[in-house]
Amino acid sequence: MSVLVDAETRVLVQGITGHQGTVHTVQMQKFGTQVVAGATPGKGGTTVEGVPVFDSVAEAVQKTRANATCIFVPAPYAKDAFFEAADAGIKLAVIVTEHIPFHDMLAMYHYGQLRGARIIGPNCPGIASPGKAKVGIIPNVVFHPGRVGVISRSGTLTYEIVSGIKDVGLGQSTCMGLGGDPVVGTSFVDALPYFEKDPETDILVLVGEIGGTAEEEAAEYLRHNFTKPVIAYIAGRSAPPGKRMGHAGAIIARGRGTAQSKREALESAGAQVANFPYEIPTLVKERLAAGPAR
């Protein structure tokens, strides 16, 4: 078992004929993912890296039984791309595209809820389960199969931490990059139940950042509903109030969303919070050696 993606996942790439779509299709294939179709209007009947391209998502799903999509469509067209996928019955959409307008993402979020389609992203690196499948852009080389789950709002920190976990001789069950926009399709609270139920995950790494209340909400969920040990890190400790740090959602406003408030909430819920990203792999290894109880 893994979280949301496995060896049976059949991936459609929307925007496969663009540079990023093509490059990451190759990398997903090298990871072992079944990339079964691409969709670009007007390019139907062609192929990209051996993957058949269709003019519409509906046709791609009908002919290839694709059940997940990775969206590389430019921001002005991303909403329509997701709507098309949801209407075709796709139940998992990883949206890599950044700069999607706020109101577009609001509409996408609610349409996904209506259609029963889980969105990961936008502006995210995707999801990967080593040895099974990857949907997104996380580098292949950082992974090794194992029993450490990772949920993160930060792309580059995800890569660093996952690589560090590999370097200390451990591996990952599933790694999920949520994205850092103000509105995302999957929050920590949405993702945590999957990892709680996953028998292949023994410990969870949670990587947050300043801005919003997602980490405080996650802490409340951890306190009452999560039984596995958690190692956490909050990026942005030195960020001044009102200054955006990298992500559109990473902004402190009116004293809310600070690194300190998030740290305190997570610690009070039983999580161990690292001071620096490089500490996480060692803390994970030590916590696993100590035993399964939180």
- Does 246 have pLDDT greater than 70? no
Instruction: Identify whether 5 is part of a domain.
Output: no
- Mean pLDDT value across residues 102-107: 96
Indicate whether 186 and 235 sit together in one domain: yes
State the pLDDT at residue 155: 84
- What letter would DSSP give residue 253? B
pLDDT score for 210: 86
pLDDT in tens, 203-225: 999 999 888 889 999 999 999 99
* Region 46-52 average pLDDT: 97
Quick one: pLDDT at residue 247?
56
Distance, CA of 15 to CA of 79 (rounded, Å): 13
In a domain, 184, yes or no: yes
Domain boundary among 120, 154, 179: 120
Whether residue 113 sits in one domain with residue 144: no
Instruction: Output the pLDDT for position 292.
Output: 61
In a domain, 172, yes or no: yes
Name the residue with higher pLDDT: 157 or 65: 65
Do 161 and 279 sit in the same domain of this protein?
A: yes
Among 120, 154, 183, identify where a domain stops: 120
What is the reported pTM?
Answer: 0.93
DSSP letters of 117-177? -EEE-SS--EEEETTTEEEE---GGG--EEEEEEEES-HHHHHHHHHHHHHTT--EEEEEE
Residue 193 counted as domain residue? yes
Average pLDDT over residues 262-289: 95
Contact by Cβ (8 Å): 123, 249: no
Residues 88 and 149 in one domain: no
The pLDDT score that the predictor gives to residue 188 is 97
The last residue of a domain, from among 120, 151, 174:
120
Confidence label for 153 from pLDDT (cuts 50, 70 and 90): very high
Judge if 35 and 158 occupy the same domain: no
Mean pLDDT of the chain: 93
For residue 4, is it within any domain?
no
- CATH classification of the domain holding 200: 3.40.50.261
Residues 172, 72, single domain; the answer is: no
Percent of the chain with pLDDT over 90: 84
End-to-end CA distance of the chain: 22
pLDDT at 140 over 80: yes
pLDDT given for residue 168 in this prediction? 96
- The number of folded domains in the chain is 2
If asked whether residues 152 and 265 sit together in one domain, one would say yes
Nearest-angstrom CA–CA distance, 216 and 185 = 18
- Residue 127, in any domain of the structure: no
Domain assignment of residue 161, yes or no: yes
Range of the domain at 62: 10-120
In a domain, 128, yes or no: no
Q: pLDDT band at 236, cuts 50/70/90? A: confident
Residue 243 has pLDDT above 60, yes or no: no
Same-domain status, 107 and 153? no
Are 39 and 181 within one domain?
no
User: Does 177 lie in the same domain as 75?
Assistant: no
Segment 161-187 mean pLDDT = 96
Is residue 255's pLDDT more than 70?
no
Q: Higher confidence at residue 147 or residue 251? A: 147
Q: Which residues are designated catalytic? A: 247
Question: Rounded mean pLDDT of 148-157?
Answer: 93
Asked if the model's pLDDT at residue 172 lies above 80, the reply is yes
Instruction: Indicate if the pLDDT at residue 254 is higher than 60.
Output: no
For residue 2, what pLDDT band results from cuts at 50, 70 and 90? confident
Q: How many CB atoms lie within 10 A of CB 147?
A: 15
79 and 212 co-located in one domain: no
> Same domain for 280 and 144?
yes
Quote the tokens at residue 272.
């161990």
Name, in order, each residue with C-beta under 8 angstroms of 165's C-beta and a sequence gap of 6 or more. 144, 146, 148, 150, 171, 172, 205, 280, 281, 284
Band (245; pLDDT cuts 50, 70, 90):
low
Across the range 173-191, mean pLDDT stands at 95
**Quick one: average pLDDT of 250-273?**
80
Residues 6+ apart with CB under 8 A from 220: 265, 269
pLDDT tens digit string along 86-99?
A: 999 999 999 999 99
Q: What whole-number percentage of the chain has pLDDT above 70?
A: 92
CATH of the domain at 49: 3.40.50.720
